[in-house]
Amino acid sequence: MIALLSMAQQAQSAGVNGAVIAAIIVAGASLVTTSFSWFSSRQAQKAVRTHRAQDYRIRQQNELYGPLYMWRLLSRRLWEQLTEIPNAQPGVTPWKLIDHIEEIKSEADGRRRLVVEEILKINAELTDLIVGKAGLLYELPPPESFEKFLEHSRMLRINWDQGTNATGISYRPFPGEIDQDILHALEGLRRDIQQ
């Protein structure tokens, strides 16, 4: 702007018409204002995009991965009770519910049957989250463990309802890597949110 005024003074001393000088000043001021407005608009658009991305990550954490993590935590605790093996660990202890359905269903004490029913309810919740909130998945395609879990959950329900151990085509063991995949996504989301 100071440069424009300096140019106008030089033009006036050189005998240029005052209207031309005024037009130059107005044009220059308009150019500066337009540039500033464009820059401000770009900054505002960038801030909106950043805010939307942040909100989306928070939704992913709160509506999908947080609940998946907590349901799996509860399911693991229930599974540990089923095994009746001290310090049993999913993915480490070689005990699979799909191999013990007949045994559990035949027990006089119904405690383990109730535990299985709770696990099946949790599996239904997990399935609803994975399928119903698929648009919030951290990565597409989703980890293979999610697909394996959906198959496992469905076949476990069918075998439980039939009262038979899983064999052959219905043998779909629980994918232990799902817990790590959920945790990986949660950690990634937390890093993204904190940036």
Structural domain boundaries of the chain?
A: 2-42, 56-194
| One pLDDT digit (tens) per residue for the chain, 195 residues | 566 556 656 656 666 566 766 676 777 767 666 666 666 667 666 666 778 889 999 999 999 999 999 999 999 999 999 998 888 887 778 899 999 999 999 999 999 999 999 999 999 999 999 999 999 999 989 999 999 999 999 999 999 999 999 998 889 999 989 999 999 999 999 999 888
Q: What is the pLDDT of residue 1?
A: 56
Residues 51-68 pLDDT 10s? 888 999 999 999 999 999
pTM of the model: 0.76
Q: What is the pLDDT of residue 191?
A: 94
User: How far is Cα of residue 68 from the mean position of the Cα atoms in its chain?
Assistant: 10
Cα(49)–Cα(57) distance, rounded to whole angstroms?
A: 12
Tokens 């044009």 found at: 27
Report the half-sphere exposure of 179 (CA within 13 A, side-chain side). Answer: 12
Cα(67)–Cα(75) distance, rounded to whole angstroms?
A: 12
Q: What is the pLDDT of residue 51?
A: 80
Q: Would you tell me the crossing angle of helices 177-194 and 66-83 to the nearest 10 degrees?
A: 150
Give the type of residue at 18: G
Residue 136 makes CB contacts below 8 A (sequence gap 6+) with 56, 59, 60, 63, 64
Helix, strand or coil for residue 57?
Answer: helix
Q: What is the dihedral of CA 176, 127, 150, 120, to 10 degrees?
A: 70
Cα(106)–Cα(41) distance, rounded to whole angstroms?
A: 70
Helix, strand or coil for residue 165?
Answer: coil
User: How far is Cα of residue 192 from the mean position of the Cα atoms in its chain?
Assistant: 11
What tokens does 6 get?
């300096």
Closest CA to 149 of 120, 122, 118, 172: 172
